[in-house]
Amino acid sequence: MAASSTSSSQSDSSPNDLKIIVQSNPSASHLSQLGINSWPKWGCPPGKYTLKFDATETCYLVKGKVKVYPKGSSDHSVEFGAGDLVTIPKGLSCTWDVSVAVDKHYKFDSNSSSS
């Protein structure tokens, strides 16, 4: 009888695999469907901010411009700004380099509770 071996060398998602999803200029009907205007607002002046996301966040930037550097990845960045709908994954640690003051609507995914 031959024994089968299973290799588990596939890498599970590590913090470096967490991806920020940017949707530029979503339609007004899509924003309305999401209920963006009922979401809380948050803003910050230009500067650098170190953040860790304990839940998945979806946000819509009303104004501002941001370049995000995921922790441990100095050569990789994601840029987004006013008019962008952005999804930031749970577990991401990053630095926000805000070049234009941010004003955004945001909500945390209620399904991504910390374990």
pLDDT in tens, the chain (115 residues): 444 433 333 333 444 568 999 999 999 999 999 999 999 999 999 999 999 999 999 999 999 999 999 998 767 899 999 999 999 999 999 999 999 999 999 999 976 444 4
CATH topology for the 21-108 domain: Jelly Rolls (2.60.120)
Every domain of the chain and the residues it spans: 21-108
pLDDT of residue 115: 43
- Residue 57's closest CA among 114, 110, 115? 110
pLDDT of residue 76: 87
CA pair distance 5, 64, nearest whole angstrom: 53
